[in-house]
Structure 1
């Protein structure tokens, strides 16, 4: 990647994902991250949509992903929840690989941003819920990792 070039990040993942799903994710407590388990092919297609239009960086669809959220709303174990977050990275990689095979992207343009936790998924305050809350989850905030595939 040219260090002097402005990098383009993909857009609203959930909005684009809805185009590939039968049921929109808009009011789901897991938002787009539920598709990791319900429709992984739609996840790959959404990443590919952004790659097709020339973005330099794609984000994993982990906006509302959290271990606790997966355990609560998908009824899966802690270990399965960790694997599901890893699956988000794997699906992003699969989209990159598929586009590469189709010569859609240049080889050096393969940077993936993984939003591992979300402020909204982890920080629950009275303003988030519209009511008083004694259950504050303020122990993790957003963390990002960037994976450069070679």
Structure 2
């Protein structure tokens, strides 16, 4: 039986998808102890980032910002509500719509989370400029892939 020639296009280390996936895993690993101090998981932190930016949004708006469906974000929101970080409330204009409002505890957590981005920058050992360029390139890639 003849040796099968290697196909470098199919080698794991040559795959963009694996570089993105494994980097995402490592990024989450860096965040884990930082978020443990706040009692948040990484997905909860992402939701809180959106709410710190824009309090009083709907579940639908939050799920669009997080690029997920409303059904998958609901358990996360129930947990944040149980932890007294937000209140879910039916809209007065349309009872089918659920609005999200941070509690005082949820708003004050923002100050406690302020150090997290700089910790991540330090862990990366990259310049702010390099990380900003990387983020911009990833957003362009993500936006392009969304239209696929």
Fold conserved between structures, TM > 0.5: no
TM-score, structure 1 length as denominator? Answer: 0.27
Higher share of residues assigned helix: 2
Flag the structure with larger Rg: 2
Of the two structures, which has the highest relative contact order with CA contacts closer than 8 Å and spacing of 6 or more?
1
TM-score, scaled relative to structure 2: 0.28
